[in-house]
Chain A
Amino acid sequence: MSTPKTPGSAAGGLRTTDRLAAGLLWLVALPTVLVAAWWFGSASSDNYINPPLADVVAAFVPTWFGEPGTPFADSRVAVDIVPSVLRLMAGYAVALVGGIAAGVLIGSSRALRAFVEPVLEFFRAVPPPILVPVLMLFLGIGDTMKVVVIAFGCVWPILLNTVEGVRALDPVLRDTARIYRLGPWARVRKLVLPGASPQIVTGARQALSIGIILMVIGEMFAARDGLGFSIVQFQRSFAIPEMWGGVVVLGLLGLLLSLTFRVASDAILAWYHGYQRAQRGGA
C-alpha cells in the first residue's frame, strides 16, 4: 500500500509545482527564442519577402477569420482549413482501414506474402506526389483525387508495418490461441491486431506526416480551396505576410495532429509500454 498523502507534504506539493513550472519553461524556451529572433530580426526589414513579424501577426486574424463581423462559414478557416483537414482525415482513414486489413491478410500467409511482395515493393517505391498529375487525368481535380493521393501515400507504411507486426507474433501465443480454439474473428481481434499494434502504430505515425505533405501538394497542383491552395495564392499575389501566416497555420496543424496522435497511441499501447518496462526491469 502506498502511504497516503498528508497535509504535511505541502512542501512536496510545492516541489512538484516547481518541477512542473520548470518543465513548462524548458518546453517553451526554444520557441520563445525563435519567435523573438524572428520578431527582432525582421522588425526593421524592408525586404518584401521578409516582412516584419508584426505585419505577419497583424494580417493573421483578418486573413483566417475575416474582418470583424464575417460569419464563420465565410472565413478561411471554414473555407480552406476545414476542407483540407477533412480530405486528410478521409484519405488517412481509408489508408488505415485498407492498410491494416491487407496487412493482416498478407502477414498471415507466407504464400500470399511471396506472391505480392515484388508488387508491394514497386508501389512503395513510387513517390506518391507523382500520382497527382496522373490521377488528375482520371479523377479530375476534385476531392476524390486528393483523397486518393493521400490514401495511396499513407497506405504503404501502415501496410508494411502491419505485415511485419503480424509476422512477428509470438509462436507461443499463436499456439495458445489454437489450443483454446479461438475462431478466426477472435484470433484477429484478440491476438493479431493487439499483437501487431506496436508496429501498426509506428506505421500510422509515419503515414500521418506523409499525409500532411500530400494534402498540401495535392492542393498546390490544382484546387479551388485548401491550405496549400491558399498559400500558393498568397505567394502568387505577393501577399507575403499572409503567406507566412499560412506556413505557420500548417505548422500548428501538424503539431496539433501529432499531439492528438500521441494521446491516442499512448492509450492504445499502454499495455505495451508497461510490458516493455517490465522486460527491461528484468525478472
Chain B
Amino acid sequence: MTSPVVENPSVMLGVHGLNKVYTGRGEPVEAIADLSFEISAGELVCVVGPSGAGKTTLLRCLAGLLPATAGDVRLAGQAVSDPPTGMAVVFQEYGRSLFPWLTVAQNVELPLREKGLPKARRKELVRETLEAVGLGDATASYPWQLSGGMQQRVAIARAAAYEPQVLLMDEPFAAVDAQTRFDLEDLVRSLWSRLGVTVVFVTHDIDEAIYLGERVLVLSGRPTVLLEDVRVGLGDDRSQLETRATPEFTRLRTHVYELVQAAKRGARSVTDAHLTH
C-alpha cells in the first residue's frame, strides 16, 4: 500500500496522472493519456467529451472496476483498486443493471443487506428512497414490468439507499426519452442537494452537463487529456425552463460546445481549440 497523499482534506475524489492503456490482442490502445483533477466533498461534477473520449473508461477507473495503467484514483485519501465502500454507480443500461429475478424493493435492499444493516433500517431506507424517486407503490413489481425511465429511477433509488459518499453516473439518461430525462435530471439535482453526496455524472449531452453540474470537465478525444475544467455559475436552484433560458447558460453551452467540437478535430488544449469568443 502506498501512503495516503497529503491533499486538501475536503477532496473526496482525487485523480492524479491517470493513464490507461488497453493491452489485449493486437496493438495496445491508449485510452487515457494523462488526467488529473480533484472533486471536493459534496460537489456535482459532470464529465463531457466527444464520443470515444474514454468517458466510460474514466468512470470504470474511478469505480475501481478497471485498474489504471499508471497514476492513481483516491477516494477520501484511500487508493481505489477495487470497488470501494461508500461508492455507488448508476449504469446507462438500466435494464441490465437491475436483477430481473428480484422485485423493485429487493433490488434496492440487496446492497443494504450486504452492508449488514439491520432489517428495520433496510425497510426504512427502501421505503424512503423509493418514495423519493416516485416509486412508492411499485415496490412489489419486477423491474421489467416498469418503463425505462422508471427502471432507471429504481437504479437511482438503489444507489441513494446505499448512502454512498460518491455517486458515479455513466450516461444514465442516454436511453430514456427527452421528457423523462428532464424529470430524472431534476431528481438527480434534488437527491444531490438533499443527501449531500458527491456526484460524478458522465454524459455526452452538453446541455445536460451544464444544467446539472457545478463544474463541467471537458475531455479531449483519445488518448484523453483534460481540455478544460469549466465552472458553472448557475446557482443552486435550477429549473428546466428558466435556467436553460439564462444568458449564462447559453454562454456556457456555446463555450462547451466549441470545446467538444475542437476535441473532435483533435484539439488537446484550450489554446488548440481556437475559440471564437
Interface of A toward B, CB cutoff 8 Å: 170, 172-173, 175-176, 178-183, 186, 190-191, 194-195, 197, 271-272, 274-275, 278-279, 283
Contact = CB atoms under 8 A, between A and B. Distances in A.
Interface stretch (B23-31, B85-93, B232-240, B264-272): B85-93
A175 B91 contact: yes
Interface string B65-107: 1000000000000000011010111010101110111100000
Given A172-B91, A172-B93, A271-B101, A183 B142 contact: no
Nearest to A269: B101
Interface stretch (B32-40, B123-131, B143-151, B186-194): B143-151
A172 B96 contact: yes
Contact of A173 (B83, B85, B88, B97): B97
Query: Residue among B91, B100, B142, B147 with the most chain A CB within 10 A?
Result: B100
Contacts, number: 68
Nearest to B102: A190
Contacts of A172: 91, 93, 96-97
Contacts of A180: 83, 88, 110-111, 114, 162
Contacts of A183: 114
A274 B145 contact: yes
A170 B96 contact: yes
Interface of B: 63, 65, 82-83, 85, 87-89, 91, 93, 95-97, 99-102, 110-111, 113-115, 142, 144-145, 147-148, 162
The 8 lowest CB-CB distance pairs between A and B, nearest first, are A180-B111, A278-B144, A172-B96, A194-B101, A271-B101, A275-B100, A179-B89, A275-B144
Nearest to B113: A186
B147 A283 contact: yes
A283 to B, nearest CB: 6
Nearest to B158: A180
A272 B143 CA distance: 12
